[in-house]
């Protein structure tokens, strides 16, 4: 369903100079599976998912979603995914119903089919009691539900959730995770990015650990645990990150020493 | 792109804006409330307005001849066109002071002091004149400083006196006038030639003080009317006809009907309102829809929907356009209704001269509506593109203020009665719509402006289209959409510029270089003019040519070379200093020769039809070309511009602009920039056209040198032809002229051959493409450049 091959993204930042946000990342996600993207803040998760949603263009490699290439058929890719992240805000001056309806129309739904789909989504997510409230008056939990409804309204085969529980209270977070699990059971291909270990353990069928734009390792959690001889997910995560930090520091030292004879 | 998505996005934006109180206030509430409030305010102000009378002191009023100029504390009402105006001037004289307030006495004292100060100035001035006449240079400086001091004292005394106008009547004025009248009566017996110098009344006032100037204008009017009465009395006494001094007395008669007078007012008000209101109406919605979307964090939600960027921008653009049109329409409606109503109220008030302000006709309103659309479209797209850059509403407003300022400037320019629609103005954005509307409204939709309608409409639609295209381009750029609101640090930015240099300049560096060239040229104008004025008589031509060479080096070549060396790593690629191939060099020579006659014929034909005549300075410069030495003329007119301008426009600017990934856009932009620096419309036209060809040649031939060669030969021919005409080039020049010209100008055969040659050459250029330099050599080149810093430590060490 999702195939990423040697995907790279670099840009120039005024403060930091040239930045490689993604460095030859490759992975695959299949229908009926939750693929976890686990990494600290600034690891490149959001950049990777933005490329998958065609909002950013890669500087190298390729990515296909539901058979469509992100560079060749961006419109078809967007039609095939439901995307949710911290950056996908809601229009404050619209009600929940209007907002989901607007996006449903943009996805090509009309008339009865749109209304029925919306009724069912609003019912499933238990949103009927605030469907006519303006988004500006909603609680964080309610807003997240509207966002999920917005991502689900066209019943896409692929769903991308970028830290969907950030800032939510335990009850709402639990409900969101349950929704994600239900969607997997309905056969959707799901990418789930997070930095919370518990969510990964609970939900993800396979995981990729990403750090400084590179994938350090990927596979089902038990497999990863066995490979690195570390049964605790959190410890496994830290171990991989530390190894990577040591590798980067080593290469920097090496490159400095390369110039030592010249300096002398 | 589908209309369905655009319509969905458009409807959402409109609905969203209608729920925003700020937009509603700007678009609907403000115009509906503002104009009636302004109208009411105006009526109130006229009711409350009381002008404090200005003070006029007359010293020696008793010596004024009859009829009586002054009645009590006023000038007599009969000397005013509007008798009510008499109360606006308070006249203080020695006679009126006797039965008036204390401040009358103070004023008279102050006036006496001013008179004394004035007499002192006269004295010193007389001494100074005497000293000048005797050629006594010794005391001249001292006397001059005394005169300055005396004048300063007189001005201070007057300013402190509280008097707006002081009239000094010479003693015995009435007697002299009576004596003169007497002699007139006895004409035939008394010769008139020796009337001698008669002392005249002096009216002191201050030009720099508004109140004093106004009072002086009134006093002057009064004195003029009164003087005519004095004259009339004198003529009557001498038994002469009253119309003796005005034998012709022509009478003016205005044929304007009241409706035409109203049209004149609407033709000033509506174009200005249309420009200002279409931009104000586009301003807030554009900022809210672009920058506001980023600020509220909904931009990414929008970008992940299936609509393309083009559809998103078009939806937003249509929404901004709708609000811009509504704002402008409502404002015009409200201003029109209120204006008409206030004028009808005015009656005999200060607005009475407007008469009953008749509303504009339906035809005029239709023109307003038709021309408003392309203008609003242009502003909507422009505002949207600029607002997309911004991260927040606040930032967006900063970006849009320059558009507002420029538009206000253009509006004021178009309001001037002397500015009329010309072919040139018909293609300038904003100015064209404004002037066409002015002309159509003034003439009631008829007259000479009609042929301009298609030109203005087409060019305005073209500008709107370009602005919209630019807005879509902005919406496709990641660095624009996902710009972080980073803290700007000048140090960090400079470091970034100098550390992360690239092989060729960026788009912004090219734009910066262009602006620098423009600013330097502007700054050079002053020193150049000074140097020209200081030039020895007869040597102005030579000085001007030397200055042109310096100007080219300083304002055109230097900035781009400096920026290029400082900010790029590959100077050779940046400026296209590559060795040329023989084909493009031959092409440059052939085209320069064949294009020159065609271009000069075209420019000549367009001058007067489309372009105004050459400005005086330019024509004088061209004439002086005939007198300077030929090598200097060639250096200033051909070699220096060819080198400097090619380095700047086909070298640096073209390299920078082509970084946007569109060679044709880069060629277009660099040639427009090349045109703009030429200032004179004829040259702008010729330079932009030549820029297109030269840009293509530089891009396809991958070298600057063919362009330099073309430029030298093209300009050189112009310079040398003039010299050949005055016989400076001997028999060779004569043969050359004979080859090209007959009595009527260029020989038709020559023009036909040149046209055919130019066409053939341009076709060749379209198909020509010089091979890319081999990858290996260019890669090696860039590696070498990167490894070698500008000042290598090794060279410093030795």
Is 70 exceeded by the pLDDT of residue B74?
Answer: yes
More confident residue, B322 or B389: B322
Question: Which structural domain range is residue A131 located in?
Answer: 2-263
Q: Which residues of B touch A56 (CB under 8 A)?
A: 478, 482
Mean pLDDT, to the nearest integer, of A205-218? 91
Mark out the alpha helices in B535-612 (DSSP H runs). Answer: 540-551, 558-567, 571-574, 582-606
Is 90 exceeded by the pLDDT of residue B647?
Answer: yes
Residue B486 sits at the vertex; the CA angle it makes with B482 and B491, to the nearest 5 degrees, is 130
pLDDT in tens, B162-209: 899 999 999 888 888 888 888 778 765 555 555 566 788 999 999 888
Q: Which residues of B touch A91 (CB under 8 A)?
A: 12, 16, 296, 298, 301
Start-to-end CA distance of chain B, whole Å, equals 65
CB contact under 8 A, A90 and B12: no
* Helix B173-185 vs helix B210-237: crossing angle, to nearest 10: 30
**What pLDDT was estimated at residue B347?**
58
DSSP state of B359: P
Question: In this structure, is the dihedral angle defined by the CA atoms of residues B482, B488, B492 and B494, taken in order, positive or negative?
Answer: positive
CB contact under 8 A, A11 and B307: no
**Chain A contact present for B567, CB below 8 A:** no
**Which residue in B18, B21, B305 has the most chain A C-beta atoms within 10 A of its own C-beta, making it the best mutation to test that interface?**
B305
Mean pLDDT, to the nearest integer, of B615-621? 72
**What pLDDT was estimated at residue B11?**
95
Are the C-beta atoms of residues B13 and B319 closer than 8 Å to each other? yes
CATH number at residue A154: 3.40.50.300
Largest CA-CA distance found in chain A, in angstroms, rounded: 78
Task: Give the percent of chain B with pLDDT over 90.
Answer: 29
Q: Which residues of B touch A17 (CB under 8 A)?
A: 496, 499-500
Return the residue of B nearest to A52 by Cα. Answer: B304
pLDDT in tens, B765-778: 888 887 766 544 44
pLDDT band at B525 (very low <50, low <70, confident <90, very high): confident
**Which residue in B294, B304, B311, B487 has the most chain A C-beta atoms within 10 A of its own C-beta, making it the best mutation to test that interface?**
B304
Strand order in the sheet with B54-59: B89-92, B54-59, B165-168, B202-204
User: How many Cβ atoms sit within 10 Å of the Cβ of residue A13?
Assistant: 15
**Chain A contact present for B772, CB below 8 A:** no
Q: What mean pLDDT, rounded, does chain A reach? A: 87
pLDDT in tens, B26-63: 778 888 888 888 888 888 887 777 778 889 999 998 89
Q: What mean pLDDT, rounded, does chain B reach? A: 84
**B395/chain A closest Cα distance in angstroms:** 19
**Chain A contact present for B491, CB below 8 A:** no
More confident residue, A41 or B101: A41
Instruction: Identify which of B721, B703, B725, B723 has the alpha carbon closest to the alpha carbon of residue B713.
Output: B721
Number of folded domains that form chain A: 1
CB contact under 8 A, A88 and B300: yes
**What pLDDT was estimated at residue B34?**
85
Prediction ipTM score: 0.90
Helices (H) and strands (E) in chain B, counts: 33, 8
Lowest pLDDT segment from A23-27, B386-390, B614-618: B614-618
**What pLDDT was estimated at residue B710?**
93
Please confirm whether the linkage preceding B116 is cis (ω < 30° from 0).
Answer: no
Q: Which residues of A touch B295 (CB under 8 A)?
A: none
CB contact under 8 A, B306 and A107: yes
Q: Which residues of B touch A55 (CB under 8 A)?
A: 300, 303-304, 481
**Chain A contact present for B306, CB below 8 A:** yes
Burial of B155 (C-beta count, 10 Å sphere; 0-12/13-18/19+): middle
Select the residue of A12, A79, A91 nearest B298 (Cβ to Cβ): A91
Question: In this structure, is the dihedral angle defined by the CA atoms of residues B210, B211, B216 and B221, taken in order, positive or negative?
Answer: positive
**A135/chain B closest Cα distance in angstroms:** 12
Return the residue of A nearest to B7 by Cα. Answer: A106
pLDDT in tens, B202-244: 999 998 888 999 999 999 999 999 999 998 888 888 888 888 8
**A154/chain B closest Cα distance in angstroms:** 11
Q: Which residues of B touch A148 (CB under 8 A)?
A: none
Lowest pLDDT segment from B43-47, B269-273, B455-459: B43-47
**What pLDDT was estimated at residue B789?**
37
Is 50 exceeded by the pLDDT of residue B779?
Answer: no
CB contact under 8 A, B300 and A12: no
Instruction: Identify which of B552, B540, B547 has the alpha carbon closest to the alpha carbon of residue B627.
Output: B540
pLDDT band at B780 (very low <50, low <70, confident <90, very high): very low
Lowest pLDDT segment from B144-148, B349-353, B689-693, B789-793: B789-793
Name B364's Cβ contacts closer than 8 Å, sequence gap at least 6.
Answer: B263, B266, B440, B441, B444, B445
**Chain A contact present for B500, CB below 8 A:** yes
CB contact under 8 A, B301 and A88: yes
Question: β-pairing, A206-211 with A33-38?
Answer: parallel
More confident residue, B187 or B104: B104
CB contact under 8 A, A14 and B12: no
Is 90 exceeded by the pLDDT of residue B365?
Answer: no
Chain centroid to CA A242: 23
CB contact under 8 A, B305 and A78: yes
DSSP state of A218: E
**What pLDDT was estimated at residue B485?**
53
**What pLDDT was estimated at residue A254?**
59
CB contact under 8 A, B496 and A17: yes
User: How many Cβ atoms sit within 10 Å of the Cβ of residue B207?
Assistant: 8
Are the C-beta atoms of residues B323 and B17 closer than 8 Å to each other? yes
């Amino acid at each position: 369903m999702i195939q990423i091959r040697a995907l790279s993204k670099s840009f120039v930042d005024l403060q930091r100079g040239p930045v490689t946000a993604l460095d030859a990342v490759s992975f695959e996600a299949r229908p009926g599976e939750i693929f976890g993207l686990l990494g600290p803040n600034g690891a490149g998760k959001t950049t990777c998912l933005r490329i998958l949603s065609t909002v950013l263009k890669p500087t190298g490699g390729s990515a296909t979603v539901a058979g469509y290439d992100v560079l060749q058929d961006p419109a078809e890719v967007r039609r095939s995914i439901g995307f949710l992240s911290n950056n996908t805000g809601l229009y404050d001056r619209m009600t929940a119903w209007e907002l989901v309806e607007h996006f449903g129309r943009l996805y090509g739904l009309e008339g009865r089919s749109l209304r029925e789909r919306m009724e069912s989504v609003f019912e499933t997510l238990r949103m009927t009691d605030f469907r006519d409230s303006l988004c500006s008056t909603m609680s964080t939990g309610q807003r997240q539900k509207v966002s999920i409804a917005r991502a689900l309204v066209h019943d896409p085969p692929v769903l991308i959730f970028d830290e969907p529980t950030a800032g939510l209270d335990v009850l709402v977070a639990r409900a969101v995770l349950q929704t994600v699990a239900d969607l997997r059971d309905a056969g959707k291909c799901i990418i789930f990015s997070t930095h919370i270990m518990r969510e990964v353990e609970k939900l993800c069928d396979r995981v990729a650990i990403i750090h400084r734009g590179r994938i350090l390792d990927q596979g089902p959690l038990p497999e990863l645990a066995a490979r690195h001889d570390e049964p605790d997910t959190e410890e496994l995560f830290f171990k991989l990150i530390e190894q990577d930090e040591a590798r980067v520091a080593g290469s920097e030292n090496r490159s400095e020493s390369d110039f030592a004879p010249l300096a002398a | 792109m589908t209309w369905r998505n655009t319509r969905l996005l458009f409807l959402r934006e409109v609905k969203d804006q209608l729920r925003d109180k700020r937009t509603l206030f700007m678009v609907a509430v403000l115009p509906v409330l503002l104009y009636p409030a302004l109208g009411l305010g105006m009526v109130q102000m006229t009711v409350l307005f009381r002008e404090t009378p200005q003070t006029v002191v007359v010293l020696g009023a008793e010596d004024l001849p009859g009829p009586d100029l002054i009645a009590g504390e006023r000038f007599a009402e009969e000397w005013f066109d509007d008798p009510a105006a008499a109360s606006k001037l308070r006249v203080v004289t020695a006679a009126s002071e006797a039965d008036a307030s204390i401040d009358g006495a103070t004023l008279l004292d102050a006036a006496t002091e001013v008179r004394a100060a004035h007499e002192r100035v006269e004295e010193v001035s007389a001494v100074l004149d005497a000293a000048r006449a005797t050629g006594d240079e010794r005391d001249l400086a001292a006397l001059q400083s005394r005169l300055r001091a005396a004048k300063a004292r007189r001005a201070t005394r007057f300013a402190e006196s509280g008097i707006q106008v002081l009239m000094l009547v010479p003693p015995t004025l009435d007697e002299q006038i009576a004596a003169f009248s007497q002699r007139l009566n006895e004409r035939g017996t008394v010769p008139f030639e020796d009337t001698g110098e008669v002392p005249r009344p002096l009216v002191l006032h201050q030009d720099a003080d508004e109140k004093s100037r106004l009072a002086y204008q009134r006093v002057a009017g009064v004195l003029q009317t009164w003087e005519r009465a004095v004259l009339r009395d004198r003529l009557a006494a001498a038994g002469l006809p009253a119309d003796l001094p005005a034998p012709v007395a022509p009478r003016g008669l205005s044929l304007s009907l009241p409706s035409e007078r109203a049209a004149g007012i609407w033709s000033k008000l509506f174009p200005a309102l249309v420009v200002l209101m279409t931009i104000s109406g586009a301003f807030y919605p554009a900022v809210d829809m672009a920058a506001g979307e980023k600020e509220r964090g909904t931009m990414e939600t929008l970008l992940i929907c299936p609509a393309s960027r083009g559809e998103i921008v078009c939806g937003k653009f249509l929404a901004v356009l709708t609000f811009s049109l509504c704002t402008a329409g409502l404002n015009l409606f409200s201003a029109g209704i209120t204006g008409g109503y206030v004028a009808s109220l005015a009656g005999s008030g200060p607005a009475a001269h407007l008469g009953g302000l008749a509303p504009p006709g339906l035809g005029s309103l239709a023109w307003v509506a038709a021309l408003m659309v392309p203008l609003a479209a242009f502003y909507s797209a422009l505002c949207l593109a600029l607002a997309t850059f911004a991260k927040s509403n606040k930032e967006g407003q900063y970006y849009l203020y320059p558009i507002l300022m420029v538009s206000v400037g253009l509006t004021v320019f178009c309001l001037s009665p002397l500015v009329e629609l010309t072919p040139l103005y018909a293609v300038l954005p904003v100015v064209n719509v404004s002037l066409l509307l002015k002309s159509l409204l003034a003439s009631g939709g008829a007259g000479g402006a009609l042929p301009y309608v298609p030109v203005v409409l087409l060019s305005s639609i073209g500008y709107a289209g370009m602005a919209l295209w630019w807005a879509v381009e902005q919406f496709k750029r990641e660095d624009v959409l996902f710009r972080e609101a980073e803290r700007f640090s000048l140090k960090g930015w400079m470091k970034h510029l100098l550390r992360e240099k690239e092989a060729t300049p960026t788009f912004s560096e090219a734009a910066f270089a262009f602006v620098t060239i423009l600013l330097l040229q502007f700054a050079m104008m002053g020193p150049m003019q000074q140097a020209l004025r200081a030039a020895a008589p007869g040597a102005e031509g030579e000085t001007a040519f030397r200055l042109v060479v310096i100007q080219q080096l300083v304002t055109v070549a230097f900035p781009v070379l400096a920026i290029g060396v400082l900010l790029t790593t590959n100077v050779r690629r940046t400026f296209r200093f590559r060795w040329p191939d023989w084909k493009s060099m031959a092409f440059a020579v052939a085209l320069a020769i064949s294009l020159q006659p065609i271009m000069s014929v075209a420019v000549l034909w367009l001058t007067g039809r489309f372009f105004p005549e050459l400005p005086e300075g330019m024509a004088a410069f061209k004439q002086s070309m005939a007198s300077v030495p030929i090598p200097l003329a060639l250096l200033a007119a051909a070699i220096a511009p060819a080198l400097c301008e090619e380095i700047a426009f086909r070298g640096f600017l073209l390299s920078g602009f082509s970084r946007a990934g569109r060679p044709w856009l880069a060629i277009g932009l660099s040639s427009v920039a090349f045109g703009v620096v030429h200032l004179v419309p004829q040259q702008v036209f010729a330079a932009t056209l030549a820029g297109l060809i030269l840009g293509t040649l530089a891009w396809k031939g991958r070298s600057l040198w063919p362009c330099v060669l073309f430029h030298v030969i093209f300009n050189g021919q112009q310079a040398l032809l003039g010299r050949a005409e005055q016989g400076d080039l001997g028999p060779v020049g004569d043969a050359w002229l004979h080859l090209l010209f007959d009595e009527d100008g260029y020989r038709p055969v020559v023009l036909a051959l040149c046209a055919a040659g130019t066409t053939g050459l341009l076709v060749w250029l379209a198909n020509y493409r010089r091979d890319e330099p081999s990858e290996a050599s260019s890669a090696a080149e860039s590696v070498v450049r990167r490894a070698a810093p500008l000042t290598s430590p090794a060279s410093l060490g030795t």
